[in-house]
């Protein structure tokens, strides 16, 4: 099973990203994730984690099992961008790590260039997404499915992306 874990500071859009990846849904209302939420499909296990400090021990357990980590910040929050640098320092660098900028449909205060420069300096992939408009989500999903060494040879990438979008809902 390929383990994908979504992490980052509190209130950056991790849950809407998780929901958009798994179920093609977006919720305007905000409900904070308590510890974590999980779903599995086509040999991929996805975990949405809380960004709150009180759940860091639980999140650490998930990170230990992760094959790929989506490190998420909010493009409308300079504080969240600063925080992902601290989050990155705590991660196991042997894992696949992807930097993801969310809320790119809104007025950004963190320029794209800053996210790209940060990810490039670490030689990590970088995606800009909007869970609300689906901007960048298909490309991110395709990237994730291509990284999965456990994908079934008989299933196409298009099928995996479709299954990813429809399986947990």
Quick one: pLDDT at residue 1? 76
pLDDT at 78: 97
Give the per-residue pLDDT at 59. Answer: 52
What is the model's pLDDT at position 146?
Answer: 80
Contact 12, 74 (CB under 8 A): yes
| 15, 36 Cβ separation under 8 angstroms | no
| Per-residue pLDDT at 58 | 57
Q: CA-CA distances (angstroms) from residue 57 to 13, 32, 60, 78, 85?
A: 21, 17, 5, 25, 19
Q: What is the pLDDT of residue 81?
A: 97
In this structure, how many other beta carbons lie within 10 angstroms of the beta carbon of residue 47?
Answer: 22
pLDDT of residue 6: 87
Q: How far apart are CA 26 and CA 130, in angstroms?
A: 10
What DSSP string runs through 14-49? HHHHHHHHHHS---SS-----SEEEEEETTEEEEEE
- Could you list the beta-strand ranges (E) of the chain: 2-7, 36-41, 44-49, 68-74, 96-102, 126-128
Structurally, what CATH architecture does the domain formed by 2-166 represent? 3-Layer(aba) Sandwich (3.40)
What residues of the chain score a pLDDT lower than 70? 23-24, 26-47, 49-63, 148-169
pTM for this entry: 0.78
- pLDDT for 148: 67
Degrees to nearest 5, angle at CA 127 with 8 and 1:
70
Q: How confident is the model at residue 44, as a pLDDT?
A: 62
CA angle 117-73-16, nearest 5°? 140
């Amino acid at each position: 099973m390929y383990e994908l874990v979504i992490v980052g500071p509190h209130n950056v859009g991790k849950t809407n990203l998780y929901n958009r990846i798994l179920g093609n849904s977006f919720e305007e209302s905000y409900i904070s994730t308590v510890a974590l939420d999980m779903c599995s499909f086509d040999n991929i296990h996805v975990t949405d984690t809380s960004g709150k400090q009180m759940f860091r021990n639980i999140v650490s357990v998930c990170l230990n099992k992760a094959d790929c980590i989506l490190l998420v910040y909010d493009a409308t929050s300079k504080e969240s961008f600063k925080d992902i640098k601290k989050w990155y320092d705590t991660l196991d660098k042997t894992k696949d790590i992807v930097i993801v900028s969310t809320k790119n449909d809104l007025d950004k205060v963190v320029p794209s260039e800053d996210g790209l420069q940060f990810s490039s300096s670490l030689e990590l992939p970088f995606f800009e997404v909007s869970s609300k408009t689906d901007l960048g989500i298909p490309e991110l999903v395709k990237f994730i499915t291509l990284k999965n060494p456990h994908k079934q040879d008989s299933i196409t990438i298009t099928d995996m992306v479709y299954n990813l979008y429809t399986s947990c809902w």
